[in-house]
């Protein structure tokens, strides 16, 4: 089954996830969907100093939005902010230095942000990592899981009250089509068992993001939740984490602007919020979150087990903060 999933996924990717796939899909885009001003609206973008996150922050700033850049590296964040302000002419771009793998730090940041800011219209969970050797954070959580899943869970869960009190609130998670080869592991959420494969663990984390989005959408009808696949994009993260894939795909990889397009559409367009909350998107269209005949669907019980374990892990670290 694993071989079947991987083969079907790769063939799908060659057809849909490449630059050519984007160019074909974009023929059906409606240009005026992004002909909007977001002056007066506040956006938070994690991992905003490079790649898709930086392209997203840049585009929002150019449209007049206030941007909160959540970044791990202070020097890179400041360089990115300088460039964004220079090109957009928008000075309402702010830096917050947070390592999304440091669970307590994420709690502390989110709680402080709520006290300091009256509103947040859009949260874009873009930051992620793919570590190929098992590492744990200060709380003993595996680093991929801590960054890609727990960090997203804590930041979003903590900011939901602020989002609910803001106008037209939205939450977008930048996932990956790689999650299509993974079924949710409700019993081993940190991938502690078996061989450590960073690529597959990353894909599992991205499946977890899809499940989280679906569950948040059900529990929070005042907020529009969505999760998306940007395609195969030429980013620093891809070249570092998947060097062979990056070299093999070469010019077939999408630009960061192409990768950010659906993020921006979900974050800014009026059309996006007319779609049902909780869906998985690719190139501005909701698409299935499962490959056909791949047996990756989870039962209600499995999803509940996963959510309970996530909540338990999160509360254990929250107690050390509040």
**CA-closest candidate to residue 222, choices 268, 262, 166:** 166
3-class DSSP assignment, residue 171: strand
Of the residues 17, 22, 153, 202, which is catalytic? Answer: 202
Taking a C-beta distance cutoff of 8 angstroms, is the pair 69, 50 a contact? no
3-class DSSP assignment, residue 8: helix
- The interaxial angle of helices 256-268 and 51-62, nearest 10 deg, is 50
Q: How many helices (H) and strands (E) does the chain have?
A: 12, 8
Contacts of 247 (CB under 8 A, 6+ apart): none
Q: What is the DSSP letter of 57?
A: H
Q: What is the DSSP letter of 255?
A: P
Q: Which of 124-136 are b and which e, b meaning 16 or more Cβ less than 10 Å from the residue's Cβ? A: bbbbbbbbeeeee
CA distance 133 to 197: 8
Taking a C-beta distance cutoff of 8 angstroms, is the pair 150, 199 a contact? no
Element (H, E) at 80: helix 74-88
Task: State yes or no: is 202 an active-site residue.
Answer: yes
Just list the catalytic residues.
202
């Amino acid at each position: 089954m694993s071989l079947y999933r991987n083969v079907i996924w790769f063939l799908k990717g060659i057809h849909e996830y490449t630059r050519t796939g984007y160019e074909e899909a974009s023929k059906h885009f409606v240009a005026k969907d992004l002909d909007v001003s977001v002056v007066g609206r506040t956006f938070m973008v994690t991992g905003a100093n490079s790649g898709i996150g930086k392209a997203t922050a840049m585009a929002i700033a150019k449209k007049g939005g206030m941007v909160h850049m959540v970044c791990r590296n202070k020097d890179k964040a400041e360089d990115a902010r300088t460039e964004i302000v220079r090109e957009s002419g928008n000075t309402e771009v702010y830096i917050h230095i947070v390592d999304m793998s440091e669970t307590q730090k994420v709690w502390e940041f989110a709680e402080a942000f709520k006290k300091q800011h009256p509103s947040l219209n859009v949260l874009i969970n873009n930051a992620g990592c793919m570590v190929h050797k098992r590492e744990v954070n200060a709380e003993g959580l595996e680093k991929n899981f801590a960054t890609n899943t727990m960090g997203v869970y804590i930041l979003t869960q903590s900011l939901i009250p602020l989002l609910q009190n803001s106008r037209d609130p939205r939450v977008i998670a930048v996932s990956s089509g790689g999650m299509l080869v993974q079924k949710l592991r409700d019993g081993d959420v940190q991938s502690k068992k078996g061989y450590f494969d960073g690529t597959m663990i990353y894909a599992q984390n991205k499946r977890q993001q899809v499940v989280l989005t679906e569950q948040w959408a059900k529990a929070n009808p005042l907020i529009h939740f969505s999760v998306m696949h940007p395609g195969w994009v030429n980013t620093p993260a891809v070249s570092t984490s998947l060097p062979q894939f990056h070299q093999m795909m070469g010019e077939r990889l999408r630009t960061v602007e192409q990768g950010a397009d659906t993020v921006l559409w979900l974050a800014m367009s009026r059309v996006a919020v007319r779609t049902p909350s909780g869906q998985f998107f690719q190139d501005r269209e909701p698409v299935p979150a499962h490959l056909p005949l791949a047996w990756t669907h989870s039962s209600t019980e499995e999803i509940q087990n996963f959510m309970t374990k996530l909540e338990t892990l999160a509360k254990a670290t929250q107690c050390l903060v509040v």
